[in-house]
Chains A and B, each alone.
Chain A
Amino acid sequence: MNLILISALWGVVMMFSGLFIANKSTAKTIAVVGALVLLAGNLFDLSGKMIIDSNFNGMLQYDKFGLLFLTVIVLALLFYFLLSGKAIQEVGNHSYEYFALMFFIMSGIGLVALFNNLLILFIGIEIVSIPLYILTGADKKNLKGNEAALKYFLMGAFSTGIMLMGIAFLYGATGSFQVDKLNLTANDNFTIFLVIGVVMIMISLAFKVSAAPFHFWTPDVYDGAPTVFTSFMASIVKAAVFIGFLNLFMNGFGTITGKWQLSIAIITALTLFIGNITAVYQQSVKRMLAYSSIAQAGFMMFAIFAVNDMSKQGLLLYAAAYCLATIGIFAVLVKMKDFTIDGFNGLAKKEPLIALVVTVCFLSLAGIPLTAGFFAKYFVLAAAIKTGTYLWLVIFAVLMAAVSVYYYFRVIQAMYFKEGNSEMAETSSGFKGLLVAVAVLIIVLGVAPNLLLNWLILY
């Protein structure tokens, strides 16, 4: 509860400070302080000390998984602000508002992570989505950005509508909005209402996490939005929607896995295929990362597919690994003059440290051992194998992971093995230090993932 409240309030604080403080660069400082306060509030949440200690008639549930997940997200937000705060200020004249919108999104993420009522899920998703439409179009003079924002808004609104309709159907079938009171059993006589409800919710959530075949907005929106905001969308927001997805399917539909598992399996396979294969053909790193984020969503879908204890661990680790790597790469990408892969040619000679960090991030995305990405993939795949069914899906996924190596390594090859004069904006030593911290965290989690997972399992 702390996190939801504080982030909403801090959003308001940010907006008003924009009125009273003329200096643009103070925005980052206030935002970083806000992220720290959020972190503190969240840690109090974890230890059970809340400002308002109520679950609102069971509409929220404070389970350890959700709270731990939020901790990871808030930490990612902190890194994001520290690394990309300056770039956010440079997007346009409304830097305070941008930060404010992100705090509102955090509030929505809190709801999505802790909901126990379908309406809260809906409200959470809306609170996450609406500021995102604005952020996508933040660069008003950029035509591509405007197009992306409009596209995102229309399609996003449509998918939320489908979700609401699905919730209504589900209510009609079960008579409850409460996730833990849906009481679905596999032997039920499935009414058409129930089927429509589940399918509609599945479609809209698949849209939000950009799973195929509902992914068409992703490349355009990620490519069109200002690069810093793409970073935010592709990492923090995406991971957060996944936890809502998992919570609903685990706590609500976990008893009827047999009914929807095949559909999720097909969505997973399609997502992996489309994301990976299309990414191979991209020349722009930004667009490649957009497709790669679809591909990564395919791997996270395994957690939804399996719905067991391993999926919780897997998704937690995946969120951490994926957010770290994505934020790290985008922080560097923002500084690049040329977003194509050739633009990275010879970066290792000019900026050996930054090239090294980017390499670690890409290795992590590809899932190479010794990086967090390996264990993230390991756990989600293990979750799927544990179900004992659909082994073909896992084998298909690892083949796709091999495809992903192809496009991730192209950037590494460009940086290290190709001659070129890649141009990059000046970077401060603090920025480099933070990047190194990101790389170190990725490797630490890659050697000892239990540092994070123990919190979920033991304490």
Chain B
Amino acid sequence: MTALLLILIPLIGGFTAFFIKEEKQVKMWSLAVAFASLAVMSYGLLFAFNLDNKVFVAEWLPQFGSSFALLMDGVSTLLCLLTVVAYPVIFASTWKSKYTSPNSFYGLMLLTQAGILGVFLAADGLLFYFFWELALIPVYFLCSKWGGEKRIAVTFKFFIYTFVGSLLMLVGLIYLYYQTSDASFSMQSLYEVKLTVTQQAWLFWLFFIAFAVKMPVFPFHTWQPDTYEQSPTAVTMVLSALMVKMGLFAVVRWLIPLFPAGALMFDNVVIGLSVVGMVYASVLAMQQDDLKRLVAYSSIAHIGLMSAALFVNNESGMQGAMIQFFSHGVNVLGMWIVVELIERQFGTRKMSELGGIAQKAPTLAILLVVVALANVALPLTNAFVGEFLMFNGLFKFNLWYAAVGGLSIILSAVYTLRMIQKVFFGNENAVTVNTTEINWYEKTSLAVIVVAIFVMGIYPKPVFALVQETVTMILGIFK
């Protein structure tokens, strides 16, 4: 039931939001819906984490072997949790942002949430594809309508990229469907398909391109910095904290279990691309002046490490990657909140125009420093746990990948600390002389993030327990 409610609440809440004309009311409503999802998820997780709540199956297209099947297992639980935690934080931290026709904005945001949760929960191939696309449509409208100057062209590029990817996946999916013994799209039937190595090889690419575009893995990443920059920050948060996880999650739930031989065959290609992407994005991040682009490139570097670690075929790499799904979501959300606060207050995102904010807004500065240190994966922060495990896994796979990839950690320290230095310290200038401290709900949003960073950094065991189920399953398939 929890699984179904997680999709229904934002879906119905989103459609309702379109009819609430008053700005304040629609904001309240969206926040309430986001909290309702969080409440349902926490209740399910704490008090009723049993099979009944994790699985939901209803009839959809019986003649064509597709059903409305949801499954909340290991890593999918973790990502659902991330989504329902992220949404209230996003709404709270962007509470003051003004949007034209706010009802459509918040309605589309909630529909996106429904789509994302659907992707994390779907246990049926066709349903998965359905949600995969559905999450994209509202985002297309969000970015094109409320984004920056170049929004239309940039969003369109993003849309076409992902659309091509997902259509290729659809072809692969239908092909796979005809190979099942019982003509069914259900996850179990698809898992059991026996494919030759050649079939696995090209099906792997049909699926992987879709996921690689979404993550994005180098060289499919070119849409990402532009889109992150042009989107309204609330949408960027959704994109980078949640939507990129769709691609990573799809690798875990669909790609590797469906085509283990394909994954083994191309592990060097994928890891190689990811590692190149990590270093490349880190170098680019160092040269950015725009805060949004900096975070965007840094995000590509982090995602690259995760996608590499998913293919190393050993326990620590996979554990690390899946834990990092959550940690990266939390951390990048924190980064975006800071960017949003700065942009709203000063009207610019250029690092060269900012400086000395810490003097007038010490709380913001402290919170940011914690988030930034987590971005660099300092011990005691959540990202350390994941990155350590991932590098450990990468090291076991091949020393050189780990060595080259390790560069990106050093570089991330360079650009992150440089950003703090330029924006928060140094002398005040004309732009920042009237800095005011952030208000209580912005503090709360950031505090939630900081608490999550420390809790997971010091006591990651509950998350380990969640992902272990999936890790064991995948390693079992490889054997």
* A interface list, Cβ under 8 A from B: 363, 368-370, 374, 378, 381-382, 385-386, 388, 391, 394-395, 398-399, 401-402, 405-406, 409, 413, 416-418, 448-450, 453-454, 457-458
Q: In chain B, what residue has the closest Cβ to A401?
A: B167
Which of B63, B156, B171 makes the CB contact (< 8 A) with A394?
Answer: B171
B397 is an interface residue with CB less than 8 A from chain A? no
B76 interface hit (Cβ, 8 Å)? no
Given A368-B133, A385-B175, A405-B160, A449 and B61 contact (CB-CB distance below 8 Å): yes
- Say yes or no: B129 contacts A369, CB within 8 Å: yes
- A386 neighbours in B (Cβ, 8 Å): 178
Give the residue name and chain of the B residue nearest to A399 (CB).
B164
Q: Tell me the bound Cα distance from A395 to B144 in angstroms.
A: 28
User: Interface digits, B267-310 against A, CB 8 Å rule (1 contact, 0 not)?
Assistant: 00000000000000000000000000000000000000000000
A378 to B133, alpha carbons, bound, how many Å? 14
Bound CA–CA A232/B61 (angstroms): 32
The complex places the Cα of A50 from the Cα of B130 at a distance, in Å, of 42
Q: List 21 A-B contacts (CB under 8 A).
A: A368-B133, A369-B129, A369-B134, A370-B130, A370-B134, A382-B174, A385-B174, A385-B178, A398-B171, A405-B163, A406-B156, A413-B144, A413-B156, A416-B141, A416-B144, A417-B144, A449-B61, A450-B61, A450-B63, A457-B63, A458-B63
Indicate which residue in A385, A398, A409, A457 contacts B167 across the interface (CB closer than 8 Å). A398
Contact A417 B145, beta carbon cutoff 8 Å: yes
Determine whether the beta carbon of A416 is less than 8 Å from that of B145: yes
Q: Are B170 and A398 in contact (CB under 8 A)?
A: yes
Contacting pair A391 B130 (CB below 8 A): no
CA distance A381 to B129 in the complex (A): 15
Task: Tell me whether A409 and B156 are in contact (CB under 8 A).
Answer: yes
- Residue contact A369 to B133, C-beta cutoff 8 Å: yes
Q: A385-B175, A398-B167 are in contact. Are A417 and B152 (CB under 8 A)?
A: yes
Q: How far is the CA of A454 from the CA of B168 in the complex (A)?
A: 28
Q: Is B152 a contact partner of A402 (Cβ separation < 8 A)?
A: no
Whether, in the assembled complex, B159 has its beta carbon less than 8 Å from a beta carbon of chain A, the answer is yes
Query: Closest residue of chain B to A383, judged by CB?
Result: B174
Contacting pair A395 B171 (CB below 8 A): yes
**Closest residue of chain B to A367, judged by CB?**
B167
- B residues contacting A by CB (< 8 A) are 60-64, 129-130, 133-134, 137, 141, 144-145, 151-152, 156, 159-160, 163-164, 167-168, 170-171, 174-175, 177-178
Pick the contact of B170 from A370, A378, A454, A457 — CB < 8 Å? A378
Contacts of A405 in B (CB 8 A): 159-160, 163
Give the docked Cα–Cα distance between A391 and B145 (Å): 38
Known: A385-B178, A398-B170. A413 touches B152 (CB 8 A): yes
Task: Tell me, rounded to whole Å, the shortest Cβ–Cβ distance linking B183 to chain A.
Answer: 10
Cα distance A417–B151 in the bound complex, in angstroms: 9
In the assembled complex, the Cα of A381 lies from the Cα of B178 at a distance in Å of: 12
In the bound complex, CA of A158 to CA of B63 (Å) = 44
**Chain B neighbourhood of A402, CB < 8 A:** 160, 163-164, 167
Cα of A418 to Cα of B152 in the assembled complex, Å: 9
Residues of B within 8 A of A368 (CB): 133, 137
Q: Which residues of B contact A448 (CB under 8 A)?
A: 60-61
Is the pair B175, A391 in contact by a Cβ cutoff of 8 Å? yes
* Complex Cα–Cα for A374 and B61 (A): 14
Residues of A within 8 A of B151 (CB): 417
A370 to B163, CA, bound (A): 15
Most chain A CB atoms below 10 A, which of B144, B156, B163, B168: B163
Q: How far is the CA of A290 from the CA of B63 in the complex (A)?
A: 35
Q: Tell me what chain B mostly uses at the interface: helix, strand, loop, or mixed.
A: helix
The answer to whether A406 and B160 have CB atoms under 8 Å apart is yes
A453 touches B63 (CB 8 A): yes
- Evaluate contact between A385 and B171: CB separation under 8 angstroms: yes
Within the complex, the shortest CB–CB distance from A174 to chain B, in Å, comes to 34
Chain B residue at minimum C-beta to C-beta distance from A457:
B63
User: Of B134, B144, B159, B174, which contacts A378 at CB under 8 A?
Assistant: B174
- Asked whether, in the complex, the Cβ of B168 is within 8 Å of the Cβ of A398, the reply is yes
- Whether A409 contacts B159 by the Cβ 8 Å rule is yes
| A415–chain B nearest beta-carbon distance, Å | 11
**Which of B151, B164, B177 lies at the interface centre, i.e. has the most chain A CB atoms within 10 A of its CB?**
B164
With a cutoff of 8 Å between Cβ atoms, the chain B residues found around residue A450 in the complex are: 61-64
**A457: B residues at CB distance < 8 A:** 63
- Chain A positions within 8 Å of B156 at CB level: 406, 409, 413
Q: Closest Cβ of chain B: how far from A353's Cβ, in Å?
A: 12
Residue of B nearest to A405 (CB): B163
Chain A positions within 8 Å of B60 at CB level: 448
Which residues of chain A are within 8 angstroms of B175 by Cβ–Cβ distance?
Answer: 385, 391
Cβ contact within 8 Å between B133 and A381:
no
Please indicate which of the listed interface residues A363, A394, A399, A453 has the most CB atoms of chain B within 10 Å of its own CB. Answer: A394
Least CB distance from A302 to B in Å reads 12
Question: Which residues on the A side are within 8 Å of B137 (C-beta)?
Answer: 363, 368, 370
Shortest Cβ gap from A413 to chain B (Å): 6
Tell me, rounded to whole Å, the shortest Cβ–Cβ distance linking B110 to chain A: 16
Complex Cα–Cα for A402 and B133 (A): 13
Supplied contacts A398-B164, A398-B171, A405-B160, 17 more A-B pairs, CB within 8 Å: A369-B130, A369-B133, A381-B174, A382-B177, A385-B178, A388-B178, A391-B171, A391-B175, A395-B171, A398-B170, A409-B159, A413-B144, A413-B152, A413-B156, A448-B61, A450-B61, A450-B62
The minimal Cβ–Cβ distance linking A408 to chain B, given in whole angstroms, is: 11
Compute how far the CA of A298 lies from the CA of B163 in the bound complex, rounded to whole angstroms.
Answer: 19
Q: Would you give the shortest CB distance from A362 to chain B, in whole angstroms?
A: 12
Taking the nearest CB of chain B, how far is it from the CB of A66, in angstroms?
A: 20
Give CA–CA (A416, B178) in the complex, Å.
40
Cα distance, A402 to B171, chains bound together (Å): 13
A-B interface, 9 closest residue pairs, ranked by CB to CB distance from nearest: A398-B167, A369-B133, A402-B164, A385-B174, A369-B130, A382-B174, A417-B144, A417-B152, A402-B163
Question: How far apart sit A385 and B167, CA to CA, in the bound complex (Å)?
Answer: 14
- Cβ contacts under 8 Å, A406 to chain B: 156, 160
Q: Which residues of A contact B62 (CB under 8 A)?
A: 450
Closest chain B residue, CB of each to CB of A379: B64
Distance in Å from the Cβ of B233 to the closest Cβ of chain A? 19
Distance from B186 Cβ to chain A, minimum over Cβ atoms (Å): 17
State in angstroms the CA–CA spacing of A416 and B145 once bound together.
7
Closest-by-CB residue of A relative to B170 is: A398
- In the bound assembly, the distance between CA atoms of A382 and B177 in angstroms comes to 9
Q: CA separation between A381 and B174, bound complex, in Å?
A: 8
A399–B163 alpha-carbon span in the complex (Å) = 9
Chain A residues within an 8 Å CB radius of B178: 382, 385-386, 388
A327 to chain B, nearest CB (A): 23
A378 neighbours in B (Cβ, 8 Å):
170, 174
A375 and B147 CA atoms in complex are apart in Å by: 31
Residues in chain A near residue B160, CB distance under 8 A: 402, 405-406
* Interfacial chain B residues near A398, Cβ < 8 Å: 164, 167-168, 170-171
Q: Report A-chain residues with C-beta under 8 Å of the C-beta of B64.
A: 450
B250: min CB distance to chain A, Å: 16
Taking the nearest CB of chain A, how far is it from the CB of B53, in angstroms?
A: 25
Per the bound structure, the CA–CA distance linking A251 and B168 in Å amounts to 32
Q: What's the Cα separation between A196 and B205 when bound, in Å?
A: 42
Residue of A nearest to B202 (CB): A391
Q: Is the CB of B159 within 8 A of A395?
A: no
Residues of A with C-beta under 8 A to B152: 413, 417-418
Give Cα A450 to B145, complex, Å: 35
Enumerate chain A residues within 8 angstroms of B61, measured Cβ to Cβ: 448-450
- Cβ of A63 to closest chain B Cβ, rounded Å: 19
Smallest CB–CB gap between A406 and chain B, Å?
7
Interface pair B159/A454, CB less than 8 Å apart: no
Q: Min CB distance, B119 to chain A, in Å? A: 12
